Amino acid sequence: MATMHITSATHASPFARIAAMFAAGAARYKKYRMYRETFDGLSALSNRDLADLGIGRSDIRRIAIEAVER
């Protein structure tokens, strides 16, 4: 009994790779903007406002990162 295996390599065209690179860059920039907006917004609050929210100044970076990851 003879068997035949057919394999085909699918390579993305150079244009598709460039488009994917730009899409990845745009997604990364969008995440960065969300991080900065969250970080800057929380940093602008007074210590009292942060305490009312149950947030310490040292938690701002972590909260901004978590906001992006969601």
Among the listed residues 44, 42, 24, the one whose alpha carbon sits nearest the alpha carbon of residue 34: 42
Residue 43 lies in a domain: yes
pLDDT at 25: 97
Residue 55 lies in a domain: yes
- Its domain, for residue 39, covers 30-69
Taking only the tens of pLDDT, the chain with its 70 residues reads: 567 666 665 677 889 999 999 999 999 999 999 999 999 999 999 999 999 999 999 999 999 999 999 8
Residue 8 lies in a domain: no
Residue 4 lies in a domain: no
3-state secondary structure of 30: helix
> How far, in Å, are 9, 33, 52, 60, 64 from residue 57 at the CA level?
52, 20, 12, 6, 12
Structural domains of the chain, count = 1
Residue 6 lies in a domain: no
**Tokens describing residue 55:** 């947030």
